[in-house]
Amino acid sequence: MPSSVHLGIAANLAHLQTLRLNDRVQMHNVLEPGNRSHAPSQVHISTGRIAALKAANKAIDDTWEILLYGSGNQQGHVQSSRGESYKRTALAYEFENRVDTGYSNPNYHQAFVAASVQAGNCDQMADVNALLLSVSGIHDRVSLVHANDVGHAFVSVGDERMPGGAVISDAWPEFGRALLQRDFALAGQTP
């Protein structure tokens, strides 16, 4: 039975009139609850897709706990870690080719190496994320996807041929969250 997710919000600029340069704006002061102007933007989604979205978000959060230095190819991560994310990601690529972790599956091997150095680019993040999702208890297919035309890797949960489509779990973006496949922009043309 589909669940309906609806949240109507609109900006309330009255709270922004007295801001100074270094003031922070609380989201609840800017968004006006109950405004029906966004009512046509309802999303109907099955309970199975909701469960997959929740599991994917948890896996993204857990991936970031494991790979806490972030990505070596995102400027914000490199700067905030003072280059540590770049160095550790380079080390991960080096270890993937030279260290025998005892895993015959290359995805397990790559996830283990990334977890060992606590950093990785999208491919290592996707490996860790897929491994976490595969043991999360969701009863859906978990697939590691490489979009070679855009040079990106991510995880797909479910079957894109089924109604509602797949859920995408991508831990690489700075503020990544799980989303439906139809809303995902980094899949490229040939995933």
Cβ neighbors of 46 (< 8 A, separation 6 or more) are 1, 2, 3, 163, 164
pLDDT in tens, 65-92: 999 999 999 999 999 999 999 999 999 9
Query: What pLDDT was estimated at residue 5?
Result: 40
Q: Which has the closest alpha carbon to 186: 135, 152, 139?
A: 152
pLDDT tens digits for range 137-155: 898 999 999 888 888 999 9
* Residues 154, 147: Cα–Cα separation, whole Å: 8
Low-confidence ranges of the chain (pLDDT < 50): 1-11, 28-30
How far is CA 56 from its chain centroid? 8
Q: In this predicted structure, what is the pLDDT of residue 11?
A: 46
Distance from C-alpha of 108 to C-alpha of 179, rounded to nearest angstrom: 24
